[in-house]
Structure 1
Amino acid sequence: MATEAHYTLEQNGEGRTVLRLSGPFLLSTIGDVEADLRKMDRGFDAVDLAEVSEIDTVGAWFACSVARDNSAEIVNASPRAERLIEAVGQSENEAPMAAPRLPLLERASETMGTKVFAARAGAVNIIGFIGQVLIGAGALIRHPRRFRYRALVSQFEKVGVNSLPIIGLMSFLIGIVIAQQGATQLQYFGAESLTVNLVGRITLRELGVLMTAIMVAGRSGSAFAAQIGTMKLTEEIDAMRTIGISPIEALVIPRILACVFMMILLGFYASIMAIIGGAVISDIMLGIPFWTFLLRIQEVVPTYDVWVGLIKAPVFGLIIAVAGCYQGMQVHGNSEEVGQRTTKAVVQAIFTVIVLDAFFAVFFTEVGWA
């Protein structure tokens, strides 16, 4: 029995050109034959399957495809070949399947409604999570020996100490940019000396703590969500509950406290580094001596600007830590959920921080700290 597929082109007695297929026409054997026939530029009137020893669905589809491309008929097919060719032909004639699609207006309304209900459920869940944190804090106040001081110190190091290089470099460069761009614009009015005011007030009051919050959200908030989410996925949190350890007390509260306290220090540190960056570029470009720039900062920046930054910092830290821990506790199902929740934690934290910063700006202006 032949083990390879073959074909020949012949003329029958009626003057018709016939493509005779022979041998097994299976998925494993028709590769070369198909390549040759696709390249053939000569047409034929019929496809003869009399000498086909074996045929499967792929072979039947190939015979149908070749016959259809040349407007030829299939002849001398075996009963099995006829059944397969009929099945393949029916599947090709069926209309393409597609999921039902609602009109645009209905789809937009449905999507908006889904988002609204999801936001409502999310608000309820976050309020419940904050309630759990408050209950856990109350329990630790009543039983201070249960508080995990080593976990708090570890989070101080991860959130604060390990962040100093990147936050310091970022703030230093931001101070350079503010001073350089501010001086470029102020020179049109002959007020280059006001660059000191610009750098001092905008860094201590706004950009120092705001950029620090964004950096901490991307660095530590994402880490909170990923760490707790992975523990949730591997059932470590369930195991903690089984042995009587509260995950809120052991995991969430130390991270929240560390983020709140370290944001105060990091925000002030970022402001100082930005001022130093502004002093460096002013010394180089504007001719304002480095130490003169720093002394001038003390004269032109009111004390309440420092307090504005220090008041905002712990609030931003609380938002970042709660968002990261909450999203981590919501992980379930599979590992893909960890990445999704980590992204949500960062986005929500940064968005909320920026919105609150706008409210703080309006509030401090109204109370006279402008």
Structure 2
Amino acid sequence: MVARADFDYSDGADGVAVRFTGRLTLARLGDLPARLGELGPIASIDLSGVERIDTVGAWIVTRTVNDYGAKVTGASPEAERLLEALKDDKSEYRVHRDRRSAIERMLEQVGEASVAIWRELIGIVDFFGAMIVALGIQIRARRRLRWHAVVTRFQTVGVDALPIIGLMSVLIGVVIAQQSAVQLEQFGLEVFTINLVGRASIRELGLLMTAIMVAGRSGSAFAAQIGTMKLTEEIDAMRTIGVSPMEAIVLPRVAASTITMPLLGFYASICAIIGGGVFCWVGLDIPPLTYVQRLREIIPMHDFWIMLIKAPVFGILIGVTGCYEGMQVRQNAEEVGKRTTSAVVAAIFLVIVLDAFFAVFFSSLGWN
């Protein structure tokens, strides 16, 4: 039977003298390190009784020597070679508990997250500037935009998204109408459900939910596609043959999302209004003709213009964020997933922040 690692010890004037026995290997250590740590200062180590030693066993001996200045005797040639290789290794292997308070750790995490977000915003702004420069060079050189690539992205960003955006918008319209009717019923004002559905759909929720959906579908697709191209060195190959990745890859995607967003936003608003109209017809007995006439009376034209102003901005933001995150892929396939997630999170966050800014800005202009 193979002897397990063990030791004998005796107390001396300078400290504890330890004599190891058996096989000082990883498979035979057992609880030896824990028992060895309970002895206190160790003055000498005798390895004459060790049948075999591996790197882990030599590291335990080396750590003891470094901690207490113990002298090693009786080492075999094999043990001497391992100890010689590890003698300069003074790394700290012990795991120390973080003794800071929870508030300190929380503040540190908040600070690190804030710095990361700030760097991400700076990177996106810098990438947007580089895209504008590339667009200016393309216009000045009188090179046509790659419309075939733009049309291909129309299919991905716009046409393929119509079913899910339409279904989502109809259901949102139903929810808005139902919740509004429940609250207004207390005052006998169910007819004003039409006001809430119409204005919320045209001015805010239709476009906002569309932007979130496009960020989840197309922004993530942009990041994943470009990230994969970075890993397979396709982008480096494009630069080698003199093709600008900004012109060939980024501009068509951003152009497609910018042009498509107003169309999708209008489509989503109409679907939400239809969903609210169906609920008003079925749940509140409001005829469709009355519903449409009331919408024409209460929806001001500037709500439509607000939607058309915000939609291209959201489209640019989603396209730039997705392409930027894809361009940041450097190492492996795992980073593609991380950057894709970052693209979705950053795009949705920035869309909501800009939507809040637009709401305050247009309200200050009196477009209420």
- Aligned with residue 195 of structure 1, among 186, 193, 196: 193
- Aligned with residue 287 of structure 2, among 289, 299, 306: 289
| Contact kept in structure 1, 2:227 and 2:328, CA below 8 Å | yes
TM-score (norm 2): 0.75
Q: 1:313 to 1:56 in 2, by over 3 A?
A: same
| Contact kept in structure 2, 1:160 and 1:266, CA below 8 Å | yes
Show CA shifts across 1:11-70 (max 9, x none): xxxxxxxxxxxx4569xxxxxxxxxxxxxxxxxxxxxxxxxxx967367546979x99xx
Q: 1:60 to 1:292 in 2, by over 3 A?
A: closer
Q: Could you say which residue in structure 2 is the equivalent of 1:97? A: 94
Q: Could you say which residue in structure 1 is the equivalent of 2:304? A: 306
User: Hey, what's the Cα distance between the residues in 2 that align with 1:59 and 1:178?
Assistant: 66
User: Hey, what's the Cα distance between the residues in 1 that align with 2:58 and 2:265?
Assistant: 72
User: Hey, what's the Cα distance between the residues in 1 that align with 2:360 and 2:324?
Assistant: 29
TM-score (norm 1): 0.75
User: Hey, what's the Cα distance between the residues in 2 that align with 1:317 and 1:369?
Assistant: 23
Show CA shifts across 1:241-294 (max 9, x none): 000000000010111111011000000000000000001111110001123212
Q: 1:83 to 1:366 in 2, by over 3 A?
A: closer
- Aligned with residue 247 of structure 2, among 235, 246, 249: 249
| Contact kept in structure 2, 1:57 and 1:88, CA below 8 Å | no
Q: Could you say which residue in structure 1 is the equivalent of 2:209? A: 211
Instruction: Tell me the amino acid that sits aligned with residue 298 of structure 1.
Output: R
Show CA shifts across 1:64-109 (max 9, x none): 79x99xxxxxxxxx9444979x979969999982158574577666
User: Hey, what's the Cα distance between the residues in 2 that align with 1:178 and 1:59?
Assistant: 66
Show CA shifts across 1:300-344 (max 9, x none): 211111111111111111111111111111111111111111111
Q: 1:55 to 1:278 in 2, by over 3 A?
A: same
| Contact kept in structure 1, 2:326 and 2:340, CA below 8 Å | yes
**198-207 vs 347-356, which moves further:** 347-356
Q: Could you say which residue in structure 2 is the equivalent of 1:171? A: 169
Q: Could you say which residue in structure 2 is the equivalent of 1:49? A: none
User: Hey, what's the Cα distance between the residues in 1 that align with 2:228 and 2:181?
Assistant: 48
Q: Could you say which residue in structure 2 is the equivalent of 1:158? A: 156
User: Hey, what's the Cα distance between the residues in 2 that align with 1:235 and 1:167?
Assistant: 35
Show CA shifts across 1:137-168 (max 9, x none): 11221344442111000011100000000000
User: Hey, what's the Cα distance between the residues in 2 that align with 1:318 and 1:289?
Assistant: 40
| Contact kept in structure 1, 2:195 and 2:298, CA below 8 Å | yes
Q: Could you say which residue in structure 2 is the equivalent of 1:276? A: 274
Q: Which has the larger radius of gyration?
A: 1
Instruction: Tell me the amino acid that sits aligned with residue 57 of structure 1.
Output: T
| Contact kept in structure 2, 1:176 and 1:274, CA below 8 Å | yes
- Aligned with residue 337 of structure 1, among 335, 338, 356: 335
Do structure 1's residue 267 and structure 2's residue 302 form an aligned pair? no
User: Hey, what's the Cα distance between the residues in 2 that align with 1:253 and 1:343?
Assistant: 22
Q: 1:185 to 1:146 in 2, by over 3 A?
A: same
Q: Which ranges of structure 2 fall in alignment gaps of 5 or more residues?
A: 5-21, 37-47, 68-91
How many pairs are equivalent?
Answer: 314
Instruction: Tell me the amino acid that sits aligned with residue 280 of structure 2.
Output: S
User: Hey, what's the Cα distance between the residues in 2 that align with 1:133 and 1:58?
Assistant: 57
| Contact kept in structure 2, 1:25 and 1:59, CA below 8 Å | no
Q: Could you say which residue in structure 2 is the equivalent of 1:57? A: 25
Q: Could you say which residue in structure 1 is the equivalent of 2:124? A: 126
Instruction: Tell me the amino acid that sits aligned with residue 345 of structure 1.
Output: A
User: Hey, what's the Cα distance between the residues in 2 that align with 1:142 and 1:182?
Assistant: 53
| Contact kept in structure 2, 1:279 and 1:290, CA below 8 Å | yes
Q: 1:88 to 1:139 in 2, by over 3 A?
A: closer
Q: Could you say which residue in structure 2 is the equivalent of 1:227? A: 225
The secondary structure found in structure 2 opposite 1:213 is helix
Deviation at 1:175, TM superposition (A): 0.2
The secondary structure found in structure 2 opposite 1:287 is coil
User: Hey, what's the Cα distance between the residues in 1 that align with 2:184 and 2:193?
Assistant: 8
Instruction: Tell me the amino acid that sits aligned with residue 348 of structure 1.
Output: A
Instruction: Tell me the amino acid that sits aligned with residue 339 of structure 1.
Output: G
| Contact kept in structure 1, 2:162 and 2:264, CA below 8 Å | yes
The secondary structure found in structure 1 opposite 2:277 is helix
| Contact kept in structure 2, 1:152 and 1:258, CA below 8 Å | yes
Q: Which ranges of structure 1 fall in alignment gaps of 5 or more residues?
A: 1-22, 27-53, 69-77
User: Hey, what's the Cα distance between the residues in 2 that align with 1:106 and 1:354?
Assistant: 30
Show CA shifts across 1:178-223 (max 9, x none): 0011011101111001111110001000000000001001111111
